[in-house]
A and B are shown apart, each in its own frame.
Chain A
Amino acid sequence: MNGLWLVARREITTRGRTKGFVVGLVLSAVLVGALAVLPRLFSGPDSFTVGVVDSPALQSALAGAGQQGEDGTEVTVKPFADEAAARKAVLDGDADAAVVGDRRTLADGEVDRELGALLESAHQAAQTQKQLSEAGLDPAKVSAAMRVAPLEQVSVGADTRYEDVRTGIAFLLVMVLFFLLLQPSMYVAMGVVEEKGSRIVEILLTSIRPWQLLGGKILGLGILALANLVVIIVAGLGAAVATGFSADLPPGMAGIVLSALFWFLLGYAFFATMAAALSSLVSRQEEVSSVISPLTLLIMATYFVSYFAAVEPGSGVARILSLIPPFSTMVMPVRTAGGGVPFWEIGVAAALMAVATAAMLALGARVYERAVLRTGARVKLSEVVR
């Protein structure tokens, strides 16, 4: 075990210090952080200033509504002496809109949709109350009767309230998982060929067993990639919390994050082992990309099907793909972000992928062990699998 850990530690310290890794880490964190904030930037303001001129009913209704919209929108009421002053304030941007005489709304162009709806409902409530009072009803009874509980939303189909956010998270996951499965697998391949090509593997394998060298490399680079994933998640959630976007996140975020981590680990073990086995067939860095092309194709295919699953997480195709290794490594966490995945499907997908990973580990270790000392011309896969 000591040899395994020594190898892993060397991978972490040497690869973790390279520019490529550090740049990838920072960039991915910044990118995901930015993407988590972006919808917030485009969703418009969440606080409004409304000028009022001679509109006592609306003014009291807005004040009575607690100046709070349904999703935390704040409304500040600012009285003006006359319409001219209100117009000027709207044009200068000091007020988002102004209501004159409980009849007209002034705005610079169109009224913001959310604010418009807010003002309209306040106006309706204020006028109804006023007219009922004028019809001779007790104002206290009227206002008591006006207090109506809002309709509760219950979905009898899939819960679609957070659909947009869920889709956004799914797309982020697709990108992040794709990056974090491909990059460390490439590092594994390059590392194997570096050792084989320089024959340093001859010295290494007189000191430690092949499984220690292979396992340590996969483990070390996996720890780096896992750290990268954690940094990305922290950056994304941190940015969401910092901007107040976290209020819009769907329930079960912990489950989505855990699912991403779990599937990343299985997928990484599978793809990294495949990368090591394939790259052990060649002795020169120039040959790496061609020898691992089956791996890159497979990751690309997984990327594309999971992209599809992010768009249509509930479709039958996505359901089937989420069960099939190695597609499940990306499709299943994407579906989980979409919500409503039956527990048994996750169990079946995990079991199948675990079997596939174990098989890949056994086969990959065998190929690696037999091919890594055969320097020179490219080793044929058929020669070492038998």
Chain B
Amino acid sequence: MIEIDDLHKRYGDKIALDGVSFSVKPGEMFGFVGANGAGKTTTMRILMGVLSADSGQVRRDGRALAFEDRRRFGYMPEERGLYQKMKVAEQVRYFGQLNGLSPKEAAKATEDLLERLALTGRAGDEVGALSLGNQQRVQLAVALVHDPEVLVLDEPFSGLDPIAVDALAEVLVERRAAGVPVLFSSHQLDLVERLCDSVGIISAGRMVASDTVEALRAREGRRLLKVVVRGATPDWTTGLSGNITKNGDEVLFADANGSDQEILRAATAAGTVEHFGWERPTLTEIFREAVA
């Protein structure tokens, strides 16, 4: 288990992190979301040891992280970095060996990964000659080549086409199934919602929410009641309490907790009730609410 405990970081007058804490369990995929400049990258760089925190600690299974632990992590930094003049396979092998693989193991792992990421045909090309999307796949291969025990990926999906997104998602799901804690940040909330078991929302250097997706939905106070009534006069909602939004026959009631039965009675009286139910808030809605 990876635990981030009360990280504080300040750049001059600007507070970047103000007590960030969360944890990622083995075999859990954790989506890290937040607006630009909220502190995601700072947190992940501290986690990877390329930046030091003013205070706070990062632990793995209760022990403070050391250099040797991080060698077994797979890391993809926010700003992509590869040697432009080095060939694809050569580069992936190099990083495999730097992380302790033997030349043979590194060659094997590289071959397998390039195959998975549909880069086999480009193995002998210089990285600089590849499209940005393909460079990103190489970057991912660099992060994965040594079969890491923990994955920390900063915006791994940005700039990828839908097919590459699927390929990457598949690899991450597979790593999760192997018991690896996977932490990644993203602005693509639908993707986070689809893939992640847990989500952490950071805003202005503070964690405003961190829980499983289900728990976050349940905790969301502003639930919406959606009612669709055919053949009703538009004014059937008059007198009902709650924050009402109308869109043709569809009516959304916010803050309808407690008055739902009253609304149902009014709806059946007004016409044919085609739909009556609680809307599950999307992650986007949860996010907007959380950072508002």
Contact = CB atoms under 8 A, between A and B. Distances in A.
Nearest to B87: A14
Which residue, A3, A14, A206, A209, has most C-beta atoms of chain B within 10 A?
A206
Contact of B95 (A195, A202, A207): A207
B83 A194 contact: yes
Contact of B49 (A195, A206, A375): A206
B86 A203 contact: no
A232 to B, nearest CB: 26
Contact of B83 (A3, A6, A14, A18): A14
Contacts of B98: 3, 6-7, 204, 207-208
A206 B70 contact: yes
Given A14-B85, A14-B86, A209 B67 contact: yes
Contacts of A3: 98
A201 B81 contact: yes
A185 to B, nearest CB: 20
B97 interface: yes
Given A6-B94, A10-B94, A209-B67, A202 B50 contact: yes
B241 to A, nearest CB: 54
Interface stretch (B71-79, B174-182, B230-238): B71-79
A200 interface: yes
B89 interface: no
Interface string B73-111: 101011111111110000000110111000000000000
Nearest to A200: B81
A319 interface: no
Tell me if B's interface is mostly helix, strand, loop or mixed: loop
Interface in A293-317: none
Contacts of B77: 199, 202-203
A207 B99 contact: yes
Contacts of B94: 6, 10
Interface in A315-352: none
28 contacts: A6-B97, A6-B98, A14-B85, A18-B85, A194-B83, A198-B80, A198-B81, A199-B80, A200-B82, A202-B50, A202-B77, A202-B81, A203-B75, A203-B77, A203-B95, A204-B98, A205-B49, A206-B48, A206-B49, A206-B50, A206-B73, A207-B71, A207-B98, A207-B99, A208-B98, A373-B50, A373-B51, A375-B79
Interface of B: 45, 48-51, 67, 70-71, 73, 75, 77-86, 94-95, 97-99, 142-143
